[in-house]
Structure 1
């Protein structure tokens, strides 16, 4: 029997590196994926929505995701926060909760303000993202090439949930692809 569903299927045509990222999260036992919608995370978001074992949570602002990750951990679950580099600036104060409560944390950050950026408003936070995360005690890893995505994301995930670290994996803008204004 076939039934209709309102859940969009995962994009099986997504680049292999994006598929590998979701696989790392799934095989690592992630039960909650929180996000502010972002094209760079679209495959992981669609895959989470389609997976009945993962709760996908749409946020109104990224700092809610930091609190959600803490609550998930306290409730015995692993959560991942997906955000864009501009969202890191929204989270700086909330990141102090991670250190104060000594909670493991894992986030994937799509970068803006780097390679071929068309929106000059993205540049300042793009330049400050890594330093802001490190200033708040978050270990930063960076993926710049598709063939390293699975290994680096897996290493960061393990550092968070096996070693109790706070980890951000930055997905470089050159990896995600060039963004362009669309004219009508």
Structure 2
């Protein structure tokens, strides 16, 4: 049985709410869809759709300067778009939290997703971002909580990688 969106995504929402996150920036992604819907349904949260992932880094830094906490949701392929902008986080010493749904790992049908998948962790670490990983549903909430604590209490830059296996096999009509 393949995993589907469910309890762990609701737990992530609860962790973000308890962590006083108020802004959630994202490029639309099926892996984050349930979380995004919950964000938009909550009047205490502001969901901000982005045209590209690096805009979310600027949004997160600006939110912090304005007294609010933000999180960036993205897919692993978007990490490559963020590398240069992560210098803002390091040079400004901003707390930063990203939740990254992985592609190119488990049961991937699209070969274009694989190279960035292999590069996500080393790229983030090279830019000074602590990388935490969750591969099973029962690991997600505690891992996201650790990310919230490290980012907003310790002032670190953190990315939580959510394994492709959590999301399940992505289907595409054009796949062989």
Please indicate, yes or no, whether the TM-score normalized by the shorter chain is above 0.5. Answer: yes
TM-score w.r.t. the length of structure 2 is 0.95
Q: Is the 8 A contact 2:75 2:102 kept in 1?
A: yes
Structure 1 equivalent of residue 106 of structure 2: 115
Off by >4 Å, runs of 4+ in structure 1: none
Structure 1 equivalent of residue 139 of structure 2: 148
Q: Distance in 1 between matches of 2:52 and 2:5?
A: 26
Which protein, 1 or 2, shows the higher relative CO under an 8 Å CA cutoff with sep ≥ 6?
2
Structure 2 equivalent of residue 124 of structure 1: 115
Which of 14, 24, 30 in structure 2 is aligned with 1:33?
Answer: 24
- Residue 93 of structure 1 aligns to a residue whose secondary structure is coil
Deviation at 1:176, TM superposition (A): 1.0
Q: Residues 110-167 of structure 1: CA distance to partner in whole angstroms, max 9, x if unpaired?
A: 0011001000000000110011000000000000000111111101111000010100
Deviation at 1:182, TM superposition (A): 2.2
Structure 1 equivalent of residue 8 of structure 2: 17
The structure with more radius of gyration: 1
Q: Residues 66-99 of structure 1: CA distance to partner in whole angstroms, max 9, x if unpaired?
A: 0000000000000000000000000000000001
TM-score w.r.t. the length of structure 1 is 0.91
Gaps of 5+ in 1: 1-12
Q: CA RMSD for the aligned pairs?
A: 1.0
